[in-house]
Amino acid sequence: MSNITIGIFVGLSLLISLTNKQKVFRVNYFIATAAIYFVLLASLFYSSNSEYALKKLGTLTPLLLLPLSFAVVPSVVIEYLRNHLKDFLKVYVGSIIILVLISLYMMLSNYDLDIILQGKRSFLHQLGLWNNIDSLYLSYHLSIATLVTGYLFFISKKSWKALGGSLVFIFLFSVLLYFSFKASIMRFY
């Protein structure tokens, strides 16, 4: 699924670049952001297992394609995205809330509340969440959504938005605490 998403993103970026009058290619940006892939590519010369190394480079192709996509997008589009960053962040947080609510519903329909509240490690490892998402990935998205919600809370200028942001933050943080043994980003709090 992520390969399809990356392919769509790369295709849209190239389409936007080709249809726009302003042709750009930010060489410095591309080299700086894709440098890790070039370092990995250079490590091919030192690898004794070239088959595994080529397979690994194939898996890490998004490290090259995503910077390329951003390097060819015109400045007008980037400025538009910057101006609507808060809206995109709100959509991300909203989608994570929906994912959490669906996952919580599935947990409650498949397990007793006692088992869920005990939250033993073995239970969390075999937890069947929506679309078989692993609790590790759910905790990553929860961590990022919690940080984004905190950011949106601090930049909100209206008190009702700040109140809503704080309630969302408390909800996401509470669910994140439940998965906290797997959430590596929890260490930053």
Instruction: Write out the chain's pLDDT in tens, 189 residues.
Output: 467 888 888 888 888 888 887 778 888 888 888 888 888 778 777 777 778 877 877 777 887 888 888 888 888 888 888 899 999 999 999 998 888 888 777 777 776 766 666 655 555 555 555 556 666 677 778 888 888 888 888 887 788 777 887 888 888 888 777 766 544 444 444
Residue 181 C-alpha from the chain's centroid: 19
Q: 145 by DSSP, 3-state: which?
A: helix
Q: Which two tokens stand for residue 59?
A: 């898996």
Q: How many CA atoms lie within 13 A of 4 on its CB side?
A: 1
Specify the 3-state DSSP secondary structure of 143.
helix
Ramachandran sector of residue 133 (left: φ over 0; alpha: ψ -120 to 50; beta: rest): beta
Count how many residues are written for the chain: 189
130, 103 Cβ separation under 8 angstroms: yes
Q: How many CB atoms lie within 10 A of CB 77?
A: 15
At 174 the pLDDT is 81
Q: Which sign, positive or negative, has the C-alpha torsion 57, 59, 60, 62?
A: positive
DSSP-based three-state secondary structure for 177: helix
Instruction: Supply the pTM of this predicted model.
Output: 0.67
C-beta of residue 139 within 8 angstroms of C-beta of residue 182: yes
For residue 88, the model assigns a pLDDT of 92
Identify the pLDDT of residue 186: 45
Alpha helices in the chain (DSSP H): 2-19, 27-33, 35-42, 50-59, 62-72, 75-83, 85-110, 113-118, 121-125, 135-155, 159-178
